Amino acid sequence: MPTTTVEKEVLGLEEQYWRAIRDKDVEAAKRLTDFPCLVTGPRGVGQIDEGTFTKKMQSPACTIRRVELGDDAQVRLLRDDVAVIAYKVHEELVVDGKPVALDAADSSTWIRRNGRWACAHHSGSIVGDPFGRDRASSASPAAAPVAEEPNSRDERAIRDLIATWMSATRAHDWSRVLGLMADDVVFLVPGRPPFGKQEFAASTRDMNDVRIEPQAEVLEVGVHGDGAWCRTHLVVTMAPPDGQTTRRSGYTLTVLRRKPDGAWVVARDANLLASE
């Protein structure tokens, strides 16, 4: 985490930048950008001039509903006027009218000109398999678009469900979490009998004052018609306001069911987390 005044300033600028983009505050975002800004990401490498940047900001094709930077941000001052920041980020967006949730690892390079910091480079990488095996790819950049296989779409939807569950838990948005599970859901955890949705809801009533930081790595997803399973490695840190911070980790095996409207919900969940 940033420790010096300048490092904290750079982290604050990165947060301001995200807020400006989320709010489509074009002028605020432009003030924080050093043009032409270099960008790298899933689409490749490029640079954006001020005019192109303005058009992208005003486009209705993609809207950020919510963005949350992780508490693992790292800032390095290369010179008094150059700083690099790297961090994890959770995004919830609407892309072409459809909701999307993703986790990424991002970095930015900030430079200071005439006493003002601006972003000269930004890079983003979607979290997942380091070899890209969990994402569809084409043979070459010039290849014709290929229709996504149904199982691939379902796998993406299930991964998005897990990401949404994590972000809603961080925000104590329990109604959203409950909406991700079937009414007849069954949870299995060590040391207690199986329990359902009502017991889960009751357990959240005393959690709103507890800071919860879950981190999920989806290891496998299998889809079979209207049923699916997901194996995940989960780490959960919990910090009550007047108590000791605890950390639990382990694996979960989740069984999911497709609803008539096509959405996936959790039907069964076996949680094998243990205290560290």
- Judge whether 133 lies within some domain: no
Distance between first and last Cα of the chain: 22
| CATH classification of the domain holding 44 | 3.10.450.50
| Residues 175 and 234 reside in one and the same domain | yes
Domain limits at 251? 150-275
pLDDT for res 141 = 41
The single-letter code of the amino acid at 211 is: R
| Residues 98 and 11 reside in one and the same domain | yes
**CA proximity to 126, closest of 90, 150, 86, 74:** 90
Q: How do residues 80-119 score in pLDDT, each as one tens digit?
A: 999 999 999 999 888 877 888 889 999 999 999 989 999 9
- Judge whether 131 lies within some domain: no
Domain end position, chosen among 126, 161, 179: 126
**Total domain count, the chain:** 2
CB 265 within 8 A of CB 181: yes
Predicted TM-score of the model (pTM):
0.51
| Residues 160 and 203 reside in one and the same domain | yes
| Residues 209 and 259 reside in one and the same domain | yes
Which residues does 5 contact at the CB level (< 8 Å), separation at least 6?
Answer: none
| Residues 77 and 168 reside in one and the same domain | no
On the question of a cis peptide bond just before residue 145, with omega within 30 degrees of 0, the verdict is no
Q: How do residues 172-204 score in pLDDT, each as one tens digit?
A: 999 999 999 999 999 999 999 999 999 999 999
| Residues 104 and 11 reside in one and the same domain | yes
- Judge whether 33 lies within some domain: yes
| Residues 57 and 105 reside in one and the same domain | yes
Helices (H), strands (E): how many in the chain? 6, 13
Both tokens assigned to 152: 């691939």
